[in-house]
Structure 1
Amino acid sequence: MNVALDVKTTRAMYMMDNSCVDGYYGQYCSQKCSEYCSDVCDKGNRSCPCKSGYYGKTCKFKCFTGCLDCDDITCSACPPGRYGQFCHFYCTPDCNGTCDINTGNCKSCPSNCVSCDSVNDKCYGCISGYYGKICEHKCPSQCATGCDSFNGNCVNCTLIQSGKYCNASCPSNCMGNCSSTVKCFQCKAGYYGDNCEIKCPTNCYGQCDMLSGECFKCLSMCPALCSTGCDHVSGACSNCSTERCGQNCEFTYSTNCVENVCMASPESCVLCKSGFHGVFCYKMCPSNCGTCFIGTYCTQCKSGYYGKICQNTCPNTCDNLTCDIHSGACHKCINNTLYGEPCNMACSSNCKYTEC
């Protein structure tokens, strides 16, 4: 008999069965238990008790639709008010929603159960504040909003507590309480991060964004001419006081801006009043223009003028001395005895009343 080999084999088997942390199995503990195990799995064969709704040695199979829990393909627990192999029958109304899964006879669940399996003495869902196989345990007193009905882990903790059972303290810079995984819900002023462990930038005033650390308000003052504050990152004014525009409201515009309105970016008047042009409408249009574009050509002429800068006089044969701004053609002749674009041709003498 090889004693050394037997000892080595026995030791390897012991390590395979007992040396893995919860949730893993195998000779090198490299394989993860099924996510549907309700507890740790066997280190050697990975079998485990299943969460509700799953079955099989490793809990990889989902129960038949309609079952809360099952044993192979047979339902072992039904939703409230149902019974049968596939939970396809309804309990009678006088059962108040709870009856034997096999017979349909009315029965009562343990007082803290939502529904139950009377054969295996097991609850499916506990009322708020309880957990356990038959909901016999109260959630830890530090749990703020109940606990997991299987393992009793707190969903949320009361103020300044954290951990699975809310038996640890929240990080010191948390404002109020934190999650069971020790993440803060809100930070004290001046801090950010999951555990509120990072200081906000020095120029922040008060709190900053909990995730990015971006300031909500800044210590630096907005430019004095801003009328309603400025952007907290760039410092650009949101609005300017009267007769000013520009990113920092540093430009004064003229009264030749239409309605005295100018844009902050790009800095300019929105529109110029008649007879003026330029970024801030300081420049005058050519004398006979009504309105002009950058002073290079008129977009409208005063009555009686035409041309690129309204330098030409409309023909005196035009009615009301009005003509086309580009060609000088009369819109209408001064009387009906003339015709042609400049109204310089007389109607034929053969026309009645010499009108044409």
Structure 2
Amino acid sequence: MYGENCSLSCPQNCQESHCDILDGTCLGCNDGYIGPKCEDQCNAKTYGLECQRVCGNCRNGDPCHHVNGSCVNGCDKGTFGVKCDTACPNGKYGNNCQKQCNLNCGVKARCDRITGQCEGGCQTGWKGITCDKHCNGGTYGLNCNYSCGHCLDNKQCHYINGSCVNGCDSGYKGIDCKQVCNNNTYGPKCSMKCGNCLYLYGEQCHHVTGQCPRGCDVGFQGERCDQVPESAFFNFMSSNNVSILLYVCFAVLVLSCFLNCFFVFRRVKRKMCRRKKMSENVDEHADTNNKDEVRTKPPLKSLYERSKNNEYQELYEMPQKSFYDKF
């Protein structure tokens, strides 16, 4: 009480209702109030006794309760608790620490408690502050720093290893479709053969179109050098290939002579063998006949005996004709 005859009550927010007995100024204020008569609430994000305590991180920067410091609308990012004065534990972030750090963070499940930005960046194939997005736009790998190859229909490659799931575009091969066709091939799946290009320095046809970079070899025409003109034979004859043709003709002639000699020799040899065999058979037959004549031939008569029989006087009778005489 204060004033004349102590007829006035001390201000409501005076500490223990004590005030000056003359003018009614408070000897102290209750928590959350300030001023001579404790009529003003704490401001500038303070609360408590004589507004000496600082509010926590209330959502959107709102002031806390002037008496107990609680945040009526919740906590701002990175803190939790009634007064929003406790930092988020590891693996948590955001308003009232309600969000989980991403498992795709470089340091697994570790991030900034306010923004959620991953510590150590993102794992392979992920991007974004919180590493919650796949690599895209033709990129893959760590921090999405690598470019995809030539995937079929320009599709996105695998966000981690860069492989082309649906195959390669025309003219390319390999898991990541970064290798151009080689070994004189081109086109889809490198399944088509290059034409008859003019290879001066070992280059091949274009890996996509099959076109020859330095033109066509002798005797061929077209964008891919796979067409033979009507005059190709005459061009062939007038080129250096004439010598090759002569060599071929000479080789055929030599081979023909050799084969003819071989067959003539073989024929002569067969004739000689037949004659030899025939001669042996004749000799053998003659020997057999002579032996038979010797067995059946009568004894030779002397000249004296023949004279008695009024026969021609011969010392000996002539033998019969031999087998050779009959021939």
Q: What TM bracket, shorter-length normalisation?
A: 0.3 to 0.5
Greater share of helix residues, 1 or 2? 2
TM-score of the two chains, using structure 2 as the length reference? 0.33
Query: In proportion to residue count, which structure has more strand?
Result: 1
The answer to which structure, 1 or 2, has the higher relative contact order (CA under 8 A, 6+ apart) is 2
Rg (Cα) greater in structure = 2
Q: TM-score, normalised by structure 1?
A: 0.31
